[in-house]
A = this chain, B = another copy of it.
Amino acid sequence: MAEVAKYVGVSAMTVSRAFRQDASVSEETRKRIMEAVDALGYVLDLSAGSLSSRRSGFIAALVPSINNSNFSDTARGITDALENTGLQLLLGYTDYSAEKEEKLIEAMLRRRPEGVILTGGSHTDRARRMLDKAGIPVVETWELPEEPINHVVGFSNSEAMSLLVRTLASQGYRKFGYIGGTTARDTRGSQRRSGFLKTVEELGLGPGRAISFGVPPITMEQGGQAIVSLLERWPDTEVVLCVSDLSAFGAIMECKRRGMSVPGDIAVAGFGDYEISSICHPSITTINVDCYGIGRQAAARLLDALQGSGEATGDEITLTGYRVVLRESTDRSGAS
């Protein structure tokens, strides 16, 4: 920077100011500085700047898996919301592990992010302490934690699944099956499962028929294996709800491979409204979640908190919408 300053014949401070929009530098000087910057190929060094201004310009975000398009949509929402704010996203993925999350949180905090976005509300004690000590806004997303750290942007996975059960029950389905994991690792999955079981019970539709598969991340293949087990055990099942569209897709394809008709022989529904579900034949009934919006809103809450940092408005909960999308895979007229 000193080099640029000398080249133009001003002080380094003036060059520094020229890089910010608000600073008072005459238009002419700024132009000359920018020409020099271009000529010299100078690139601003933010790490030095962030040290003195105590603003790193980072936002840290942790998602369970980057390969899951629901979460990458959220990441995209965050990035888009951060555009032109001068903030940059530091993205990490936890592999659905609270221990890995803890390590990542520590690694992220070493970069002094101005805010943190997490997925879910299940964290190690140490992670909570570190976040607390950091004194920066934290947003938990994708679910409604019982003990929120700070802000929350999400929805009740349990109620969303419940809504799907009720909707399908109102269409006449009675014998419900469920496919999904049980591990504590995927808390959203567990919540969906318990929402399913609770609602089936409430509707007086007997104990729910639930099959588990291995640990997250959810794969399509698991869905195929699971529906086979489920139908072996409870052959008269009418409709199978899956923790995710990915497993629903796997389940449907496996059925077709075995010559069964969906929804003729068995109806299937998913969760998440992935692109695949609207394209698949039969198209898949699912819960649409505003993944992108979760990201945008989480970032927006963070930006709010950073702006009016004076008066913390307390822990806010921003509910994001979801809706049942009925498609061919649960169509009672039974085409396909």
Answer whether residue A312 sits at the interface, using C-beta atoms and an 8 A cutoff.
no
- Residues in B with CB closer than 8 Å to A1 are none
A66 CB within 8 Å of chain B:
yes
Chain B: which residue is nearest A91 at the CB level? B91
* Proximity string of chain A (84-112) to chain B, C-beta cutoff 8 Å, 1 when within and 0 when not: 00001111010000000000001101111
* Bound-complex Cα distance A327 to B193 (A): 35
Q: Known contacts A72-B67, A73-B67, A75-B66; is A43 also within 8 Å of B280 by CB?
A: no
Contact of A220 among B66, B111, B256, B279 (CB under 8 A): B279
Q: Is A253's beta carbon under 8 Å from chain B?
A: yes
**From residue 79 to 138 of chain A, which have CB atoms closer than 8 A to chain B?**
79, 88-91, 93, 106-107, 109-112, 129-130, 133-134
Q: Is A183 an interface residue (CB 8 A)?
A: no
Mark each residue of chain A from 262 to 306: 1 if its CB lies under 8 Å from any CB of chain B, else 0: 000000000000011011110000000000000000000000000
The residue of chain B having its C-beta at the shortest distance from the C-beta of A88 within the complex is B107
Residue from the list B48, B72, B130, B279 in contact with A249, Cβ < 8 A: B279
Decide yes or no whether A10 CB sits under 8 A from chain B: no
Q: Across the interface, do B111 and A47 meet the contact criterion of CB distance under 8 Å?
A: yes
Contact status B224-A111, CB under 8 Å: no
- The verdict on A314 contacting chain B, using a C-beta distance below 8 Å, is no
> Which B residues are CB-close (under 8 A) to A133?
41, 43
Task: Give Cα A20–Cα B257 distance, bound, in whole angstroms.
Answer: 56
Is A44 close to B, CB under 8 A? yes
Give the residue among A45, A46, A109, A111 with the most B Cβ atoms within 10 A. A111
Residue numbers in B under 8 Å from A44 (CB-CB):
110
In the bound complex, do residue B67 and residue A279 qualify as a contact, i.e. CB atoms below 8 Å apart? no
- Residues of chain B within 8 A (CB-CB) of A46 are 110-111
From B89, B110, B256, A281 is in contact (CB under 8 Å) with B256
**Pairwise interchain contact B257-A130, C-beta atoms closer than 8 A:** no
Most buried by B among A93, A133, A280: A280
Q: Can you list 11 A-B contacts (CB < 8 A)?
A: A43-B133, A47-B50, A47-B51, A66-B66, A66-B72, A69-B69, A219-B275, A224-B279, A249-B279, A250-B279, A253-B281
